[in-house]
């Protein structure tokens, strides 16, 4: 006999505004308690130091987490000059100091070097795996490990304002970019050292500050509203994947994991109208006005790779 799952089945995305001092795991745990939800996950860790957008997937939306993790992100952050820390933020131990301070002109002149496809070394205290272990676990144990540089994409890096000992920036970047590494490298090149003191994520793809909800506000709303009145739909992060409406027969076959073949002229016309061509790799199957499955396209065949039980 199958064991009953604990909790309530809840499906969708929560655009959470994570508070200061809370880990991403703790934020997910609180959402779980508020909703008594069966299954949850988040799309991109935020350090306790950081605030801002933490997309949380519930139920069937967890199957789409990779699509949210791949989205571009926007950050606003403050760098304190004159000190380098072992964590590259204000939670670490100071390891180097300098009396030098950069001018706004020097900072602005340096920023183009950090735009485009750049090479950066993640912080020692990061989630990068070294021989199967997290770098931050090794760092906490006192080990200094060699972390290989990797390429990331930065679309924009702007200096917003400066003060005597700090500067505020806004960053738009692709996945895998470490803000702390940018702060560290800016300080090293400017000859004054630097580390992050304030970090806020403003956007993850189409999750933005405009419709983000704080934990306290969310808990209060759930006292009088149903989850589907607040949560964003499962397909929120699939907006760049072409959708194709399925017939009743196709819906049945997809639910059984069967491959569909689009051979006839009518089939080809359906694909064309939906914007599906030879370059398309994934298709969102829609049935009864709900997301049904993600289909992998291979020539004339569409094969279910993720089926949503909604």
CA-only gyration radius of the chain, Å? 23
- Asked whether the predicted pLDDT for residue 40 surpasses 80, the reply is yes
d(CA 104, CA 41) in angstroms, rounded, equals 41
- Asked whether the predicted pLDDT for residue 76 surpasses 80, the reply is yes
- Asked whether the predicted pLDDT for residue 3 surpasses 60, the reply is no
Name the pLDDT band for 1 (thresholds 50, 70, 90).
very low
- Asked whether the predicted pLDDT for residue 255 surpasses 50, the reply is yes
pLDDT: which is higher, 226 or 169: 169
What residues have CB less than 8 Å from 269, skipping those under 6 apart? Answer: none
For domain 12-69+209-234, the CATH class is alpha beta
Which position has the token pair 């009396």?
99
Query: What integer pLDDT is reported at residue 273 of this predicted model?
Result: 86
pLDDT digits (tens, 9 = 90+) for 176-219: 999 999 999 999 999 999 999 999 999 999 999 999 999 999 99
Give the rounded distance of the alpha carbon of 248 from its chain centre: 35
pLDDT digits (tens, 9 = 90+) for 126-141: 555 555 555 455 445 4
| Weakest-pLDDT range from 92-106, 135-149, 152-166, 256-270 | 135-149
- Domain boundaries of the chain, sorted by first residue: 12-69+209-234, 73-204, 241-307
pLDDT: which is higher, 301 or 139: 301
Average pLDDT over residues 93-119: 96
pLDDT: which is higher, 2 or 27: 27
Report the mean per-residue pLDDT for the chain: 90
The string over 121-146, giving b where at least 16 C-beta atoms fall within 10 Å of a residue's C-beta and e elsewhere, is bbbbbbebebeeeebeebbeeeeeee
pLDDT digits (tens, 9 = 90+) for 257-288: 999 998 888 888 888 888 888 889 999 999 98
d(CA 301, CA 100) in angstroms, rounded, equals 63
Q: Is 12-69+209-234's fold the same as 73-204's?
A: yes
d(CA 261, CA 301) in angstroms, rounded, equals 5
Q: Which residues are catalytic?
A: 47
> Helices in 98-201 by DSSP H: which ranges?
104-110, 135-140, 179-190
Q: How many CB atoms lie within 10 A of CB 86?
A: 17
* Percent of the chain surpassing pLDDT 70: 91
- Asked whether the predicted pLDDT for residue 123 surpasses 80, the reply is no
d(CA 235, CA 159) in angstroms, rounded, equals 35
Contact 21, 10 (CB under 8 A): no
Q: 241-307, what's its fold?
A: 2.30.130
CATH code: domain 73-204 is 3.30.2350.10
> Helices in the chain by DSSP H: which ranges?
24-35, 65-69, 104-110, 135-140, 179-190, 215-221, 248-255, 265-273
For the chain, report the end-to-end CA distance as a whole number of angstroms. Answer: 23
Average pLDDT over residues 74-83: 98
Q: Which of 77, 158, 155, 154 is nearest to 111 (CA)?
A: 158
Average pLDDT over residues 30-54: 93
Query: What integer pLDDT is reported at residue 7 of this predicted model?
Result: 82
Query: What integer pLDDT is reported at residue 140 of this predicted model?
Result: 59
Q: What is the pTM of this model?
A: 0.89
């Amino acid at each position: 006999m199958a064991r009953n799952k604990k909790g309530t089945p809840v499906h969708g995305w929560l655009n959470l505004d994570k508070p200061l001092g809370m880990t991403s795991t703790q934020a997910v745990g609180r959402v779980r308690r508020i909703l008594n939800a069966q299954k949850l996950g988040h799309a991109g860790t935020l350090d306790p130091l950081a605030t801002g957008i933490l997309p949380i997937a519930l139920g069937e939306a967890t199957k789409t987490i990779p699509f949210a993790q791949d989205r571009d992100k926007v950050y606003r952050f403050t760098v304190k000059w004159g000190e380098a820390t072992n964590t590259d933020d204000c939670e670490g131990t100071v390891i180097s100091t300098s009396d030098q301070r950069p001018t706004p002109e020097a900072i602005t002149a340096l920023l183009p070097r950090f735009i485009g496809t750049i090479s950066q070394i993640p912080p020692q205290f990061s989630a990068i795996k070294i021989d199967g272990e997290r770098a931050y676990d090794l760092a906490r144990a006192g080990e200094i490990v060699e972390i290989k540089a990797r390429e990331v994409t930065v679309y924009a890096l702007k200096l917003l304002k400066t003060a005597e000992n700090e500067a505020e920036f806004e960053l738009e970047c692709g996945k895998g970019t470490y803000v702390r590494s940018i702060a560290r490298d800016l300080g090293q090149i400017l000859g004054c050292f630097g580390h992050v003191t304030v970090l806020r994520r403003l956007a993850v793809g189409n999750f933005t500050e405009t419709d983000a909800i704080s934990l306290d506000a969310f808990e209060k709303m759930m006292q009088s509203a149903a989850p589907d009145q607040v949560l964003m739909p499962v397909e929120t992060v699939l907006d760049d994947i072409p959708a194709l409406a399925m017939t009743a027969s196709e819906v049945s076959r997809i639910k059984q994991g069967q491959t569909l073949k689009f051979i006839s002229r009518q089939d080809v016309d359906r694909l064309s109208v939906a914007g599906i061509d030879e370059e398309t790799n994934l298709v969102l199957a829609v049935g009864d006005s709900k997301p049904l499955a993600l289909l992998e396209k291979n020539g004339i065949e569409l094969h279910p790779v993720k089926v949503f039980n909604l």
